[in-house]
């Protein structure tokens, strides 16, 4: 029909579009699902951990104070697991911090585009290799290497040092890419000012750029620690399959308790070993790994939130 | 530093001093530069060492002890010396099998799959027919075609020749120290033959899992990985992209949006093992009725309880969801605002603008991010151990509700075995996994480059 009446003026009003509303609602649900994930994590970890602490066999006080983790005789003290986690993480950071930071400084301040073009992919490949492969590497390369350097009597077949070093290698890309971002955010004018008063490239990098990027670099470090603590497969394969129980006073602090060359089981390693076997629900073992999981979640979340604070600070300064 | 002196002579000595200081500073700069370069080389060296270590274990000499030597077997069927087992006819191979294994075992094999389409060797045809009619479930031989030549050959090798690998050597010692290896093997394993073996082979890829490293393969694990990734993707891609669209195109700048965004960022930093525990508690335990498939009435898989491919896929789906969202957000943010305004100006609604302007332009970026997330899911091990991957299964996964194992889990289990041969097959499996991941990453890089060239 050609002689249709012009649309009434009312149609200029915003039309109701139920389809649009439905789509908007669905998209919101998709976004809200992530909240549900967090709630699920907190709820499930919290619930099972609560069952654990309320049970007759365990208590929060014992969990936080005892230095023995022996589920078979109902000893549930988290310290052996925490100290092993600490040993591997500190070892990892000793490797990853200097190498990662130096790589970042080189890439950001020194490297020609060609060098960057070769090194960046190497780091990306390192970051993309699955952790189970690093576990294999720790067990079949790093451990024999340590044993041949330091002696078979010093380094046990399963040891936290070898696992820690390899965890360090696997977080180098994380440290370097986050640090490089931070260094990159420092305005060019600061560098130019420094060169103008006669500073060398090294002096500019260390005294001008590095302090300027400090909060971003701190963020990188904190995130890396969190990553090292949460890393699982490398320690499950190479660090040892049994908690390193100890008694203060009886066991030597440096010779055993903090000795990285002795086998030890980290929090993550313990969770994997226990859940890899036949685990029946409602058993104290099942509940206990959730208590460990909760501790792990709280520690890593705190570190991640802290790191985001640092990042926010350097963004505030320069952007 | 001393201030420049008033006298002319003092000024000259200062200049000398400054240039000495200058040289010192520059030397320090050079040393530092080399140190930085050295640190960077550590990262490169680590990658090279890692790959060399894996290659070194994937190939090398092995000492094999056969229960019956293949030469003797070939001769027993009247073939000339030097004939390979594979050159025998299928009839001869079956005859070797008949002579080499017990009738009971033979019956079992024949019920699994017949040797010939037209006649029976071990089992009575009537018995098999009865089983096919009445058996619940009927044995596979009722519907499978007869075994092929290569399958019979594999069975002869496995059951009659029965090779056992008694010693293995790495690639480097096999190549550079061959004489020592030969002398050692001759002394320690007098009955064994030394041969060069590539642990990575097509057989290794297509063989099912086996307790015997010489014939074990990764078929079960590969299929498991594919199934799991498929479910992961089906779950997290639509939800992830939807969430990203909401956050970038729909959400107002308010408290709720800030909470959603912070939450997603935090989830990206949660250790993967925590996701495993979430999956164990929610998918495996609470939703067991659904994830075990029993709501569909498939009772056959009752043994799997909730520890199925679905549970594993959904767990990994939750794990990569934040990664997909964050990547998709970045891709959507990169679409110029002018495109949206053009769409809106023509009177299209918000969703129409998103569908016809924003998404097509953001798609390459979204896909790149998704491929990288899938690569991450493909390599994840810890959460799946917690969710309950099977420690030993030899049957292919039959669907989303069957028990599962995946490639990284297989690598983990083989690595944990003390025997050298398992280290070798773990290395070979790692090579397969790395090739898979490399392919995915290359695809992502190609996609990214193509995309950035178009917009540039």
What is the complex's ipTM, to 2 decimals? 0.90
3-state secondary structure chain A: CCCCCCCCHHHHCCCCCHHHHHHHHHHHHHHHHHHHHHHHHHHHHHHHHHHHHHCCCCCHHHHHHCCCEEHHHCEECCHHHHHHHHHHHHHHHHHHHHHHHHHHHHHHHHCCHHHHHHHHHHHHHHHHCCHHHHHHHHHHHHHHHHHHHHCCCCCCCCCHHHHHHHHHHHHHHHHHHHHHHHHHHCCHHHHHHHHHCCCCHHHHHHHHHHHHCHHHHHHHHHHHHHHHHHCCHHHHHHCCCCCCCCCECCECHHHHHCCCCCCCCCHHHHHHHHHHCCCCCCCHHHHHHHHHHHHHHHHHHHHHHHHHHHHHHHHHHHC
pLDDT top residue among B150 and A43: A43
d(CA A82, CA A40): 25
pLDDT of B149 above 80: yes
Residue A229 pLDDT > 80: yes
Task: Flag the least confident range among A268-272, B126-130, B137-141.
Answer: B137-141
Q: Which residues of B70-105 are buried (b: 16+ CB within 10 A; e: fewer)?
A: beebbeeeebeeeeebeebebebbbbbbeebbeeee
A12 reaches B (C-beta below 8 A): no
The answer to whether A209 faces chain B, any CB pair under 8 Å, is no
For the purposes of burial, counting CB atoms within 10 Å of the CB of B129, is it exposed (0-12), middle (13-18) or buried (19 or more)?
exposed
pLDDT of residue B371: 93
Chain A residues lying within 8 Å of B36, measured CB to CB? 102-103, 105-106, 110
Question: Cβ of A236 under 8 Å from any chain B Cβ?
Answer: yes
Residue A316 confidence (pLDDT): 64
> Cβ contacts (< 8 Å) between B239 and chain A: which residues?
30, 33
CA distance A259 to chain B (A): 23
pLDDT digits (tens, 9 = 90+) for A243-258: 888 888 777 777 788 8
Evaluate if residue B430 carries a pLDDT over 90: yes
User: How far off is chain B from A110, nearest CA to CA, in Å?
Assistant: 8
Query: In chain A, what residues touch B245 (CB-CB under 8 Å)?
Result: 27
B456 pLDDT above the threshold of 50: no
Looking at residues B35-63, what average pLDDT do you find?
92
Token output for B320: 């990569």
Q: What confidence score (pLDDT) does residue A103 get?
A: 94
Give the confidence band of A312 by pLDDT, cuts at 50, 70, 90.
confident
* B 342-371: CB under 8 A from A: 349-351
Q: Which of B49, B274, B415 minimises the CB distance to A297?
A: B274
CB A62 within 8 A of CB B350: no
At residue A190, the pLDDT reads 92
B351 vs A20, A32, A135: nearest CB = A20
* pLDDT of B126: 84
Cβ atoms of B265 and B300 within 8 Å: the answer is no
Q: For the residues of B118-178, what is the DSSP string, one character each?
A: S--SSS-HHHHHHHHHH-SSPPGGGTSPPPPHHHHHHHHIIIII-EEEEEE--HHHHHHSH
What is the reported pLDDT for B207? 86
B43 → closest Cβ in A123, A134, A141: A123
pLDDT top residue among B18 and B25: B25
Q: Using CA coordinates, name the residue in chain A closest to B243.
A: A31
Is the per-residue pLDDT at A1 higher than 50? Answer: no
- Residue to substitute from B23, B25, B37, B281, interface A, most A β-carbons within 10 A: B281
By C-alpha distance, the chain A residue nearest B32 is A202
Q: What percent of chain A has pLDDT over 70?
A: 94
Q: For B120, list phi and psi in degrees, rounded to 5.
A: -105, 150
The answer to whether B269 contacts chain A (CB < 8 Å) is yes
Q: What angle do CA A305, A311, A316 make, to 5 degrees?
A: 125
Query: In chain A, what is the greatest distance between 2 CA atoms, to the nearest angstrom?
Result: 102
Whether the per-residue pLDDT at A57 is higher than 60: the answer is yes
Say yes or no for a CB contact (<8 Å) between A136 and B427: yes
Taking residues A217-235, what's their average pLDDT? 93
Task: Determine what percent of chain B is predicted with pLDDT higher than 90.
Answer: 41
Considering only alpha carbons, which residue of chain B is nearest residue A23? B351
pLDDT tier at B75, thresholds 50, 70, 90: confident
Q: Do A130 and B381 touch (CB under 8 A)?
A: yes
CB contact under 8 A, B274 and A296: yes
Region A38-44 average pLDDT: 94
Instruction: Tell me the pLDDT band of A29, cut-offs 50, 70 and 90.
Output: very high
What is the average per-residue pLDDT within B111-132? 83
Q: Is the pLDDT of residue B8 over 60?
A: no
The band of B30, judged by pLDDT with boundaries at 50, 70 and 90, is very high
- CATH class of domain segment(s) A60-318: mainly alpha
User: pLDDT confidence of B301, banded at 50, 70, 90?
Assistant: very low
Higher-pLDDT residue of A2, A266: A266
- Interval A104-124: pLDDT, tens: 999 999 989 898 888 888 898
Q: Does B57 touch chain A (CB under 8 A)?
A: yes
Compare all CA atoms of chain A with the CA of B30 and give the residue at the minimum distance. Answer: A202
Does B376 have pLDDT greater than 80? yes
Q: Does A201 touch chain B (CB under 8 A)?
A: yes
Residues of chain B with CATH 1.10.3720.10: 219-455
Contact A119 B434 (CB under 8 A): no
Which of A212-221, B332-341, B440-449 bottoms out in mean pLDDT, i.e. has the lowest? B440-449
Contacts of A152 (CB under 8 A, 6+ apart): none
Q: What's the mean pLDDT in B297-318?
A: 77
E strands within B214-291? none
Partner B, chain A 127-186, Cβ-Cβ below 8 Å = 128-137, 139-141, 169, 172-173, 176
pLDDT at residue B132, rounded to an integer: 82
Closest Cβ–Cβ partner in A35, A105, A131 for B263: A35
For residue A6, pLDDT beyond 60: no
A156-179 per-position pLDDT tens digit: 999 999 999 999 999 999 999 999
Residue B74, pLDDT score: 85
The CATH number, out of the four listed (1.10.3720.10, 3.40.630.30, 1.10.630.10, 3.40.190.10), of the domain defined by the range B219-455: 1.10.3720.10
Residue A227 to chain B, least CA–CA distance (Å): 7
CB–CB contact A130 B380 (8 Å):
yes
Residues in chain B closer than 8 A to A133 (CB atoms): 50, 54, 379, 411, 430, 433-434
* pLDDT category of residue A26 using cuts at 50, 70 and 90: very high
CA distance B258 to B255: 5
| Residue B1 confidence class, pLDDT cut points 50, 70, 90 | very low
What distance in Å separates the CA atoms of residue B128 and residue B131, rounded to the nearest whole number? Answer: 5
Percent of chain A with pLDDT over 90: 57
DSSP-assigned letter for residue B298 = -
Q: Which of residues 54-93 of A touch B (CB under 8 A)?
A: none
C-beta atoms of A136 and B430 within 8 A: yes
């Amino acid at each position: 029909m050609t002689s249709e009446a012009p649309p009434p003026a009312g149609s200029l009003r915003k039309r109701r579009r139920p389809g649009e509303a439905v789509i908007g609602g669905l998209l919101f649900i998709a976004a809200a699902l992530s909240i549900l994930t967090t709630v699920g994590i907190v709820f499930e970890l919290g619930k099972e951990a609560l069952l654990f602490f309320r049970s007759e066999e365990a208590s929060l006080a014992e969990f936080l104070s005892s230095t023995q983790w022996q589920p078979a005789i109902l000893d549930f003290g988290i310290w052996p697991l925490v100290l092993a986690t600490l040993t591997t993480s500190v070892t990892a950071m000793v490797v990853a911090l200097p190498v990662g930071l130096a790589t970042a400084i080189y890439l950001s301040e020194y490297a020609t585009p060609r060098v960057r073009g070769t090194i960046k992919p190497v780091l990306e490949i390192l970051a993309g290799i699955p952790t189970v492969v690093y576990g294999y590497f720790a067990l079949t390369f790093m451990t024999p290497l340590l044993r041949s350097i330091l002696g078979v009597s010093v380094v046990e077949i399963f040891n936290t040092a070898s696992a820690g070093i390899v965890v360090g290698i696997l977080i180098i890309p994380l440290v370097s890419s986050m640090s490089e971002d931070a260094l990159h955010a420092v305005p060019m004018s600061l560098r130019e000012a420094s060169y103008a008063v006669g500073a060398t490239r090294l002096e500019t990098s260390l005294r001008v750029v590095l302090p300027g990027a400090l909060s971003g670099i701190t963020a990188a470090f904190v995130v890396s620690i969190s990553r090292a603590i949460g890393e699982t497969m490398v320690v499950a394969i190479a660090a040892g399959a049994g908690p390193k129980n100890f008694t203060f006073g009886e066991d030597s602090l440096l010779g055993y308790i903090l000795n990285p060359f002795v086998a030890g089981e980290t929090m993550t390693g313990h969770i994997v070993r226990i859940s890899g076997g036949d685990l029946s629900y409602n058993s104290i073992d099942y509940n206990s790994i959730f208590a460990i999981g909760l501790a792990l979640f709280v520690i890593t979340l705190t570190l991640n939130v802290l790191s985001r604070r640092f990042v926010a600070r350097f963004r505030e300064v320069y952007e | 530093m001393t201030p420049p002196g008033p006298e002319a002579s003092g000024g000259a000595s200062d200049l000398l001093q400054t240039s000495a200081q200058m040289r010192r500073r520059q030397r320090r700069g050079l040393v530092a530069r080399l140190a930085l370069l050295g640190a960077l080389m550590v990262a490169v060296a680590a990658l090279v060492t890692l790959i060399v270590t894996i290659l070194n274990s994937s190939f090398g000499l092995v000492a094999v002890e056969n229960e019956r030597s293949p030469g003797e077997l070939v001769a027993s069927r009247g073939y000339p010396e030097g004939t390979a087992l594979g050159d025998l006819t299928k009839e001869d191979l079956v005859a070797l099998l008949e002579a080499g294994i017990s009738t009971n075992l033979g019956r079992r094999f024949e019920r699994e799959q017949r040797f010939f389409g037209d006649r029976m060797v071990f089992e009575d045809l009537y018995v098999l027919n009865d089983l096919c009619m009445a058996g619940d479930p009927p044995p596979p031989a009722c519907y499978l075609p007869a075994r092929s030549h290569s399958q019979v050959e594999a069975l002869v090798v496995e059951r009659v020749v029965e090779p056992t690998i008694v010693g293995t050597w790495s690639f480097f010692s096999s190549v550079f120290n061959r004489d020592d290896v030969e002398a050692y093997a001759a002394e320690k394993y007098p009955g064994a033959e030394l041969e060069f073996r590539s642990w990575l082979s097509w057989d290794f890829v297509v063989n099912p899992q086996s307790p015997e490293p010489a014939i074990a393969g990764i078929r079960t694990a590969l299929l498991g990985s594919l199934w799991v990734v498929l479910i992961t993707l089906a779950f997290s891609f639509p939800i992830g992209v939807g969430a990203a669209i909401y956050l970038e195109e729909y959400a107002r700048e308010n408290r709720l949006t800030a909470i959603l965004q912070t939450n997603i960022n935090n989830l990206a930093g949660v250790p993967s093992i925590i996701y495993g525990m979430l999956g164990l508690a929610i998918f495996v335990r609470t939703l067991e009725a659904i994830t075990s498939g029993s709501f569909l009435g498939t009772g056959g898989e009752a043994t799997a309880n909730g520890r199925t491919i679905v549970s594993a896929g959904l767990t990994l789906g939750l794990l990569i969801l934040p990664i997909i969202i964050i990547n998709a957000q970045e891709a959507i943010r990169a679409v110029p605002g002018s495109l949206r305004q053009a769409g809106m100006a023509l009177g299209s609604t918000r969703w129409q603008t998103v569908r016809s302007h924003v998404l097509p332009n953001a798609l390459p970026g979204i896909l790149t991010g998704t491929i990288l997330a899938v690569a991450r899911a493909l390599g994840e091990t810890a959460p799946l151990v917690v969710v309950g991957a099977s420690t030993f299964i030899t049957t292919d996964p039959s669907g989303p509700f069957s028990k599962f194992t995946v490639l990284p889990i297989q690598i983990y289990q083989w690595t944990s075995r003390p025997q050298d041969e398992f280290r070798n097959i773990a290395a070979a499996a790692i090579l397969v996994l790395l090739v898979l991941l490399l392919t995915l990453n290359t695809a992502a890089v190609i996609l990214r480059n193509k995309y950035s060239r178009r917009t540039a």
